Structure 1
């Protein structure tokens, strides 16, 4: 099974570059002027879709991510909590904004950010 998560973006090249800087690869064969495919892990891909193309697919208005949250996404990383802090620092250095305080309990450590288009992401390590 594969999962493709579709997110609308204002600037496709900038958004693709953002996720490349976080360490993910872009699948050039599945990337066009309207959409770009970012490989998040085995069987999981992120399709970054330009807003005009996104609305032609969904036939709905794009929500204002500055005022509402349409989806909350989480990326689990391997290793220690320092990996979470490292990814968050990279995201912030490349245009993301921090979203809330770190969550630290016996089960997981996580931190959150909003990407270039305001989509909410958590980065977490379990255990």
Structure 2
């Protein structure tokens, strides 16, 4: 099935050949939603915007105000940077301090080892800190950094099989 899935929220480019099979309807395929929004609490929105801009990412200004900004990672993934008090309005849980605790680890796949190294160099130049051990395995090359708020990111390249 060649299903074309479009995120109507951001008007993103279609992602072809994407389907999801729902468990309640065996054998029935449905187009898969392709937009993913990762919400991250940040202490200083201007510092975070400067950091992610220095990595070369664009911003979706439709989301920009004094409480949030949207970093466009790809045509299907955006990271919403929310100042901590605003982030707290979306949950009844305590907002974790990413500088002292790990709630999640995030990974971005790149098309080459060189792009992994390039993005890490940009992150470190922009004020990020190295994180974790570099990995150079047969099936994966990866390096990591933390952003100004302590969120840990891995940058990986997985060569094509064969």
What TM bracket, shorter-length normalisation?
A: over 0.9
Structure 2 unmatched ranges of 5 or more: 1-32
Unaligned runs of 5+ residues in structure 1 are: none
Question: RMSD across aligned C-alpha pairs, in angstroms?
Answer: 1.0
User: Computing the radius of gyration over CA atoms, which structure comes out larger, 1 or 2?
Assistant: 2
Decide which moves more: 112-121 or 65-74.
Answer: 65-74
- The aligned residue for residue 71 of structure 1 is 104
Give distance in 1, aligned partners of 2:98 and 2:79. Answer: 18
Q: TM-score scaled by structure 2?
A: 0.75
Matched, 1:4 2:37: yes
Q: 1:39 aligns with which of 55, 72, 78?
A: 72
Report which of the two has the higher share of strand: 1
Q: Which has the higher contact order (CA 8 A, sep 6+)?
A: 1
Q: What is residue 99 of structure 1 aligned with on the other side?
A: 131
Give distance in 2, aligned partners of 1:29 and 1:23. Answer: 19
Structure 1 stretches of 4+ moved >3 Å: none
Deviation at 1:66, TM superposition (A): 2.5
The residue that corresponds to 2:89 in the other structure is: 56
CA apart distance, 1:82:
1.8
Aligned-partner Cα distance in 2 for 1:118–1:97: 9
| Structure 2 counterpart of 1:13 | 46
How many residue pairs are counted as aligned between the two chains?
126
**For structure 1, which segment, 103-112 or 52-61, has the greater mean C-alpha deviation from structure 2 after superposition?**
52-61
